[in-house]
Chain A
Amino acid sequence: MSDSKLVACLKHWQVALMVLLLVASAIAIGPRFEDGKFTTNLQYGLDLQEGTWLQMEFKAEVVGFETDRAVEDFVADLQKQLDAEIYLIDENKLEIRGYYPEETLRTIFSAAGGRLTTYEQGVSRETADDVKRILENKLNALGTKDARVNPLTGLSGVSHYIRVELAGVSLSQAKEIVGTQGKFEIRIHTTGNQTEHVLYGDTITTVGVPSHEPPGSPVWGVSFTLSEEGARKFQQGAIATGAVSNPDAHYLDMVLDGNVVYSAPLSADLAAKLAIEPIRQLYASTGTGAAGLEAAKNHEIHLRAGALPVDVTVAGSGYVPAALSDYFRMMCVVAFIAAAIAVGVVIFYRYREPSIVLPMIGSNLTEIVILLGIATLIQQLDLAAIAALIAVMGTGIDQLVIITDEILHEGKVPSPTLYKKRLARALGIILVSAFTVIFAMIPLALMDLSSLRGFALITIIGVVIGVAITRPAYGEIIKEILSK
């Protein structure tokens, strides 16, 4: 192509926009050599990166109900029957934080003078976000380099599952980190080995990182904060058991999943304060030196683990070793290049004209680069996403063929008015097929079919980029080339 034609092409805003986005995407992807290795900003999902995924199921339900009684009374009655926390999350919706089959609940609801109207296993969006935050905190505290936690929320707004992806962590490690969630409890010794329940971990509102207390001393420990209710319970418990008056005879135990993870007396200072008022800001000291720091780190996790409001079980899991993920990544690149070459050969066989074939392939690949550029911001690439990329390339080239054939109808170079009409007609066909693909993919993008969401998103974005940017741009380019 001569320089003047190149300039003429760029004068069309569609072409200019495409070039601009291409450059921006190339920068976003940022291909470079680092330590002699080729790296980019693309985020890889599992399969293409070593790591583990865990999908956990909430042991809880969101149920709808009807009752003629006052809602508070009704819920209070339910609470007596169910050994689980119950929250009113909507006018007529309850979140029950324990697993009960639908039939059991139906019976209990009737007995309490109401009716169960809907039943869905899972938790409300808010609770799911809480769990997500707690897990993220925990994972970050452990220094897990790359962790993703996503509640999978269905169309009804109920999260049945939460998916955790941990890069560079083995399956057993991952399960240890997230799978063994337990209930945290504080108990105080009464007489002998007897202990009395004081509070559960859900009243712990914040947990600090290991620190020295008082600052500058060699003693390590973790600070944590109780809610007002928790602080009140703590004070009452400490007074009732006698820990306030005689701390050394009434040790305080912190229990995680039935195991005592920490046991120490109240400090004299704290005991004196508790005798007067509830204290929210507490500190658990763990000793001095490296051992103290290590214990403090562990204790921090224990305190956080206790804050998970809903029990979870592992519903599915998977692990990809580094050797395999590197191999997959390489093979994906090979598959992609092979597919691109195959497309090029067929197109060349059909048109035999480099001035048509090159812009065609060029705009097709541009589309992929722009798509990858956008993907760096929103979507990690896994095998399903790669399949989507190849699908986008396939529909992309299909649609470019439609444009080319429509414009070159009967092999003649059309006049500008005819060209416009034909391009519009081609874009009409393309628009319809683009909409069908988008509509076909929307359910997947909205539903919680974990790995297929990426597939659907990449396909939809790819089709949108194609229809909005690269196809019109190709139409202008081909016009400039043809108008000899």
Chain B
Amino acid sequence: MGLIGYDVNKYTPRQMVMIPMVILILSLAILGYNMATTGMPVRPGIDFSGGTAVTLFTTDTPGQLEQKFQGYPLLSVGEGVNNGKYLKFGPMDDASLQALALLIGAEYPDAKIDQIGASFGKTLQEQALIALIISFIGMAIVVFLAFRTLVPAVAVIFCAFTDIAMTAAGMSLVGIDLSLPTVAALLMLIGYSVDSDILLTMRVLKRQGKLEEKLSGAFQTGIIMTTTTLAAVAAMWVVAFAGQITVIWEIATVLLIGLVLDMMNTWLTNAGIIKWYVLKRGGK
């Protein structure tokens, strides 16, 4: 199968983990910078910061829309194909909100409106953070119970963390906000990420045979796993992009970034660590 011309046995563990570590450090730097300047590692969307999001289909230009919503705290106007427009408003009081809803209802009867109060957004943000942390801990416990050896388990958990951190940095570069759907996507990544890591670790530790064969066997299976998922997500991405379904498009984008990074983290970082571990133990 010549889908990807990478030989998992060609490089030493040190060489393997080199590139991912550089990217990880860069990612953490991006997240750290965001944290220092805005207080959040990734820019929060209205789900978390509070505000109003409006999706509508109109031939009006962004300029015209800005004019129309002059009296309201309009933050941005996004444009998509099919005349789709995505408007974001900052937090406002109840009366303005009611007036805005009426205005939109009258001018664009087919608009979708979502409004989140600032304190509600804050609650959601706290809850989402707790959910992410608990999910991660839950995953870590299962991995530990499954392997019961320190280095392989830590390698899997570390890779999942790296996936999330790099993907979050990627989101920030591409300009995708942290929202309920993208948090869901990050959680999905935890699942996808450990899938191939567990396969790799199980194959290498629990099978008989030469290390090289086990590694390349695991690589063959693992890469097809990630490729199929990637194919499904890419299809979803195309449809969501063409059809202007923001929620699914955002989820798909985050997954695409995450899955590509996961290939690297699994077959460079995790494979590197497990190879080092087996070689150190004197296994073959």
A contact set with B: CB distance below 8 Å: 47, 55, 57, 160-161, 170-172, 175, 314-321, 323-324, 327-328, 331-332, 334-335, 338-343, 345-347, 349-350, 383-384, 386-388, 390-391, 393-395, 397-399, 401-402, 405-406, 409, 425, 428-429, 432-433, 435-437, 439-444, 447-452, 455, 459
- In the assembled complex, B221 has its CB within 8 A of some CB on chain A: yes
Majority secondary structure of chain A interface residues (helix, strand, loop or mixed): helix
With A387-B181, A429-B199 as given contacts, are A171 and B187 in contact (CB-CB < 8 Å)? no
Among B6-14, B17-25, B233-241, the stretch that binds chain A is: B233-241
Distance between A456 CB and nearest chain B CB, rounded to angstroms: 8
Q: How far is the CA of A356 from the CA of B209 in the complex (A)?
A: 26
Q: Which residue of B lies closest to A318 (CB)?
A: B114
In angstroms, Cα B248 to Cα A394, docked, is 15
The CA-CA distance from A315 to B46 in the complex, in Å, is 13
- A429–B236 CA distance with the chains assembled, in angstroms: 27
Contacts A338-B238, A346-B224, A401-B225 given; does A391 touch B191 at CB 8 Å: yes
Q: Does chain A have a CB within 8 A of B247?
A: yes
Q: When chains A and B are docked, how far (Å) is the Cα of A394 from the Cα of B258?
A: 14
Contacts A384-B247, A395-B191 given; 13 further ones with Cβ under 8 A? Answer: A328-B245, A332-B245, A335-B236, A338-B238, A383-B247, A384-B184, A390-B236, A428-B202, A436-B139, A440-B187, A448-B127, A449-B127, A451-B180
B101 pairs with A401, CB closer than 8 A:
no
Nearest Cβ in chain A — how far from B45, in angstroms?
13
B165 is an interface residue with CB less than 8 A from chain A: no
Q: Chain A residues near B217: list those with CB within 8 A.
A: 405, 409
Given A171-B101, A343-B228, is A394 in contact with B143 using a C-beta cutoff of 8 Å? Answer: no
Q: Chain B's nearest CB lies how many Å from the CB of A190?
A: 36
Interface pair B123/A172, CB less than 8 Å apart? no
Known: A172-B102, A335-B240, A343-B228. A433 touches B195 (CB 8 A): yes
Q: Are A171 and B232 in contact (CB under 8 A)?
A: no
Q: Which residues of A contact B109 (CB under 8 A)?
A: 321
List 23 contacting pairs A-B, 8 Å CB cutoff, sorted by A: A171-B113, A172-B98, A328-B245, A332-B245, A334-B239, A335-B248, A338-B236, A340-B232, A343-B228, A347-B228, A387-B248, A388-B184, A398-B228, A402-B225, A432-B142, A433-B198, A435-B146, A436-B191, A442-B134, A443-B130, A444-B187, A447-B131, A452-B128
Give the complex CA separation of A317 and B120 in angstroms. Answer: 11
Whether B101 lies near A394 (C-beta < 8 A) is no
Q: A332 CA to B141 CA in the complex, in Å?
A: 35
| B interface SS class | helix
Question: Are B138 and A442 within 8 A (Cβ)?
Answer: yes
With A387-B251, A394-B229 known to touch, is A339 a contact of B236 (CB < 8 Å)? yes
Cβ of B231 < 8 Å from any Cβ of A?
yes
* Residues of chain A within 8 A of B127, CB atoms compared: 447-449
A317 to B101, CA, bound (A): 11
Nearest-neighbour CB distance to chain B for A244, whole angstroms, equals 43
Question: Residue B183 at the A interface, CB < 8 A?
Answer: yes
Render B125-168 as a binary contact track against A, CB cut-off 8 A, 1 for contact. 00110110011101101110010000000000000000000000
The interface centre, meaning the residue of B187, B220, B232 with most chain A CB atoms within 10 A of its CB, is B232
Chain B residues near A442: list those with CB within 8 A: 134-135, 138
Contact: B232 with A339, CB < 8 Å?
A: yes
Q: Does chain A have a CB within 8 A of B111?
A: yes
Instruction: Assess the B229–A397 pair: CB atoms within 8 A.
Output: yes
Q: Which residues of B contact A428 (CB under 8 A)?
A: 202, 206
Given A316-B116, A324-B55, A429-B198, A441 and B110 touching (CB < 8 A)? Answer: no
Are A441 and B187 in contact (CB-based, < 8 A)? yes
Chain B interface, number of residues (Cβ within 8 angstroms): 76
B102 and A398 contact, CB distance less than 8 A: no
Partner among A315, A323, A401 whose Cβ is within 8 Å of the Cβ of B119? A315
How would residues 193 to 223 of chain B score, 1 for a CB under 8 Å from any chain A CB and 0 otherwise? 0111011001000110000000001001100
Q: Which residue of B lies closest to A386 (CB)?
A: B248
Interface membership of B77, Cβ < 8 A: no
Within 8 A of A (CB), among B80-96: 94
8 Å CB contact of A439 from B105, B139, B243: B139
- Among B55, B191, B221, B226, point to the contact of A437 (Cβ < 8 A): B191
Complexed CA–CA distance, A432 and B141 (Å): 11
Contact of A449 among B128, B138, B220, B227 (CB under 8 A): B128
Whether B260 sits at the interface, judged by CB under 8 Å, is no
**CB–CB B112/A383 < 8 A:** no
Report the bound CA distance from A183 to B191 in whole Å: 48
Residue interface bits B17-39, CB-to-A below 8 A is 1, else 0: 00000000000000000000000
Closest 9 CB pairs of A and B: A439-B138, A318-B114, A315-B120, A338-B235, A342-B231, A437-B191, A342-B235, A339-B232, A335-B239
Given known A393-B232, A394-B229, contact A452–B183 (CB-CB < 8 A): yes
Within 8 Å of chain A (Cβ to Cβ): is B174? no
* Residues on A with beta carbons closer than 8 Å to the beta carbon of B1: 350
Contacting residue for A443 out of B102, B131, B231, B247, CB 8 A? B131
A327 vs B111: C-alpha distance when bound (angstroms): 12
B200 smallest CB distance to A (angstroms): 10
Point out the residues of chain B lying under 8 angstroms from A161, CB to CB.
Answer: 120, 123
Docked complex: B48-63 residues within 8 A CB-CB of A: 55
Q: Does B72 contact A (CB under 8 A)?
A: no
Contact A449 B235 (CB under 8 A): no
Chain A contacts of B238 at CB under 8 A? Answer: 338
Quick check: A318 and B231 within 8 Å, CB to CB?
no
A77 to B76, CA, bound (A): 52
Question: With a CB–CB cut-off of 8 A, which chain A residues contact B3?
Answer: 349
In the bound complex, what is the Cα–Cα distance between A459 and B190 (angstroms)? Answer: 13
Q: How far is the CB of B280 from chain A (nearest CB, A)?
A: 24
How distant is A136 from chain B, measured CB to nearest CB, in Å?
22
Query: B110 contacts which chain A residues (CB < 8 A)?
Result: 321, 323-324
